[in-house]
Amino acid sequence: MKMRCFYLFAILSIIFSSCALLQPPRQPSFNRDEVVIWNENRKLTWDDFQAAPILGVNQSTEILVQMPSSFVKSTLFSPVVTTVECFFDKKRSWVNKAFATKVTLQYNQTIFGIYELYARKLRKKFSETNFGVADPYGVFNGIVNEQRDQLMEEIKNYRTATSSGQDEKAIIIWNGSIAEQLKALEQFKSQ
pTM: 0.84
Per-residue pLDDT of the chain (191 residues; tens, 9 = 90+): 555 544 444 454 444 444 444 444 445 566 888 999 999 999 999 999 999 998 877 789 999 999 999 999 888 788 889 999 999 999 999 999 888 999 999 999 999 999 999 999 999 999 999 998 889 999 999 999 999 999 999 999 999 999 999 999 999 999 999 999 999 999 999 86
Q: Do 106 and 60 contact (CB within 8 A), yes or no?
A: no
1-15 pLDDT tens trace: 555 544 444 454 444
Which uninterrupted H or E stretch holds 159?
Answer: helix 136-161
Cα 102 from Cα 13, distance rounded (Å)? 63
